[in-house]
Amino acid sequence: MEGLKIYTKRNIDHLISDRKGETKFGEKLSFVESIEDLKKEPAAYVLLGIPEDIGIRANYGNAGAANTWKIALQSLVNLQQNRFNSGENLILLGEIDCAEFNNKAGNLDKKDPNYYQKLGDLVKQIDQILTEVIEKINEVGKIPIIIGGGHNNAYGNIKGASKALENPINVLNIDAHSDLRTLEHRHSGNAFSYAIAGGFLNKYYVFGLQKNYTPEYIFEEMDFSENLNYMLFEGLNKSSNKITRAFREFLKPLSSGNFGFELDCDVIANFNSSAMSPSGFSVDQIRGFISEVKKEKNCCYFHICEAIPDKKNSVLTGKAISYFISDFIRK
């Protein structure tokens, strides 16, 4: 399939640190030769990377998320394969080939009055490829786990899932931002507005939305629409029992139908991300939310986005993402 770089075991061999007597998660992952072969594999989950940050740049944000996929993969393949972790249940499909798009974005002149529009055009091209890939994965009943990249990619996830399932889907987004910005050029702040406008998104709920980052017009839109809902971060009782219960209740109206699960890493306090914040959920609270979502049979994808591995502690970013993935697929 054009635009998709399918991996073989050779793509990750150099990332795995061997240790005598131990088996690493990466050694047990499944691979396919073509996307059509997914249906032959018993694994339930399919892992896909999107090494781009064009959508974030188009949204006036900080670049760097293009490097997250490789960092996350390196941590993931080095988890232990043991009674708790089964690499066999995950197909490492590969990555959306973003090299040409990244090059084109890098060569654009920032002084060009159409600079942001041109970035948005590149985002649209990635949208198309991603939509097709997600559609194919969902069509064969498997659950994609997508590592971005910017939150712009939520659009391709939603559209692909909705096409495969032949209905608009619901989405639960754990995020400090609503990403319901206007339908201007495509970027990381308007994926959900575009998905609603396209008829691919039915109920859209944001958990952990922060008061300081939502424009009033978006609050009004969310208050007005029956299909939009939010739980403010500031309004949550953070004691572990109460927050889990609040999350479960919030998820309920979505999970009776097919729903996508979005996690924007800028919702986590002090986590390196495009819109890093000193206030937010902890990594362990996020792990608790993931364990609630994985109980639901109607979850049709999991998207982790907007993390940026910085030079000093990229290992921590990679580890956190690998915990999120392993928690999600654990039986």
Ligand X SMILES: N=CN[C@@H](CCC(=O)O)C(=O)O
Q: How far is the CB of 326 from ligand X (least distance, A)?
A: 25
- Which token pair is 216? 């009033």
Using the rule CB under 6 A, which residue among 213, 231, 257, 327 binds ligand X?
A: 213
Which burial class, exposed, middle or buried, applies to 296 when counting CB atoms under 10 A from its CB (0-12, 13-18, 19+)?
A: middle
- Complex with ligand X: residue 61 or 120, whichever CB lies closer: 61
- Which token pair is 285? 């609270």
**Site for ligand X, residues 71 to 90, rule: CB under 6 A:** none
Query: CB–CB of 152/235 below 8 Å?
Result: no
Contact region with ligand X (CB under 6 A), list: 6-14, 96-104, 177-185, 311-319:
177-185
- When asked if residue 303 is in the footprint of ligand X (CB under 6 A), the reply is no
Using the rule CB under 6 A, which residue among 57, 136, 181, 303 binds ligand X?
A: 181
- When asked if residue 177 is in the footprint of ligand X (CB under 6 A), the reply is yes
Q: Write down the residue that tokens 């006036």 correspond to.
A: 60
**Site for ligand X, residues 146 to 165, rule: CB under 6 A:** 151
**Site for ligand X, residues 41 to 70, rule: CB under 6 A:** 59, 61
Report whether the peptide linkage leading into residue 64 is cis, meaning its omega lies within 30 degrees of zero: no
- When asked if residue 189 is in the footprint of ligand X (CB under 6 A), the reply is yes
- When asked if residue 275 is in the footprint of ligand X (CB under 6 A), the reply is yes
Q: How far is the CB of 279 from ligand X (least distance, A)?
A: 14
Q: Write down the residue that tokens 């240790």 correspond to.
A: 19
Distance in angstroms (rounded) separating the CA atoms of residues 264 and 255? 19
C-alpha distance from residue 261 to each of 60, 155, 184, 245 (Å): 25, 12, 25, 18
- Which token pair is 128? 């198309």
Phi, psi of 150 (to 5 degrees): -90, 170
Chain residues binding ligand X by CB under 6 A are: 59, 61, 151, 177, 179, 181, 188-189, 213, 264, 274-275, 306
